[in-house]
Structure 1
Amino acid sequence: MNQSVKKALHLLNLFDENNYELSLKEISERANLPKPTAYRLLTTLESMNYVYKEKESEHDTRYRLGLKLLELGQLVSDRLEVRRIAYSYMEELASSIQEAVHLVVVNHDEATYVEKVESNKAIRLYTRIGKNAPLYMGSGPKLLLAYLPKDKQEEILRDAELEGKINSERFKKELVEIQKKGYSYSVGEQDENTTGISYPIFDYRNHVIAALTVSGLSTYFEGENLTNIKMKTKETAENISRKLGFRGFVQGVVE
């Protein structure tokens, strides 16, 4: 590990419920660092909102943890919350349509499958919890990409095109269509002869935080069965979103 990063993280670990505020002198002594080194690290952390300082006098500077940590903690909390809340709904959906149901989230520049309920069919798809996939491959990843900020989309599509994976202009049109329709559809993108359908899960801030994905053999995703799968998956995604505090659905449509 980079030593500067390790030292900076160690400074953050000095704060706890009994030490929510520390002086530069206390931090330096507890971290066993020279004061100039501790000050340099704290200045960097302060610039990124991980700590903030209060000057009580010319000779007494005190530090507290910054709001950036609260923001990051909320992201972790949200991710755990969506898994906890979604699971029972996923079980009900999987039982109803007899297909595998997944919960997919953005993880840096990839999509990660964080939860799964298997179908009861004899022939099953192999998808493990923790699996990563490119954000341009599969219905769940593509749906998440469609709802990312435009600059992040551009970055991911540019890199994928440079690697010869996609045509970015054609893909941009697909992302626009996904947002317009409100769901994503894929055939044979991750596994041969399989189809995936995904709907967005929104949180109380109106952000898409996960994709609810149903996948199975393409022969089952036809005609009335396909219509039924789409209807029930959409309904389930909306129910999970409401449970997370989202209030943007009006007669089944996202405002």
Structure 2
Amino acid sequence: MELPSSLIGSSPARLAVEGLSWGPHRGPSLVCEIDFAVEAGRMLAIVGPNGAGKSSLLRCLYRYHRPSCGRILLDGADVWDMQPRDVARRIATVLQEPATDFGLTVAEIVELGLSPHLSGMSRNAVYAAIGDALSLMKIDHVASRNFASLSGGEKQRVMIARALAQKPDLLILDEPTNHLDIRHQLEVLALLSHLPTTVIVSLHDLSLASAHADHVLVLARGRQVDFGAAGHVLTPDAIRDTFAVETVIDSHPVTGRPRFSFHLQPSISGK
């Protein structure tokens, strides 16, 4: 995808996670011994059942939780050794539930993504970046509206536009398809998979993960179950063990991509 020059960062980053564990102070670890690497410009989908540790892992990656052990390396540099401003210039985050009390317009929300870069930008460049990000997410028609007045799906697209305006080398998104209708789910994942940046995204939808991600990381009970190409990781046996459901995988008749059909195991469904 040809991205407007106003939204292109310096270069995609390579992310490596080595032996990462984290848990609350004096509490049990919620993620344990996570190891994986994502090459520059690739997209990783993190999947797993509720409570698997997906959000906790992402909070470590974007430097909200300091790991109790292990390292998070961005192009070989530990993110916890970097200056906060340098992290803000290189890593952008879209949270699962966007705040609703900003009291700002949509355009002002998107401009917040430019904060790490504003010192070297003219107002014309700022306006161009805001407009390009809004247009890319197809929400330029709500630029002047108050953020709080938007639907959940519109808010989600605004927060993705803000992250794109940040021009990150690493983009981290926690359940970005929440609140989006089917069309916008497909459009957002297609956009993310073609961005000239490294993308880490947590998803519940295994079909979207398989269709768009270069690699998949499967978590369960805070531990790494598997990591690799979707076709090798998302098998019926693996899905049964991790999600306790039976799966039929075939090819979509139009796209040719893997299609997942789920049903409960007989002992659970009662049939």
TM-score by shorter chain over 0.5 = no
- TM superposition score normalised by structure 1: 0.28
Give the structure, 1 or 2, with the largest relative contact order (CA under 8 Å, sep 6 or more).
Answer: 2
Structure with more helix by fraction: 1
- TM superposition score normalised by structure 2: 0.27
Whichever of the two has the greater Rg, that structure is 1
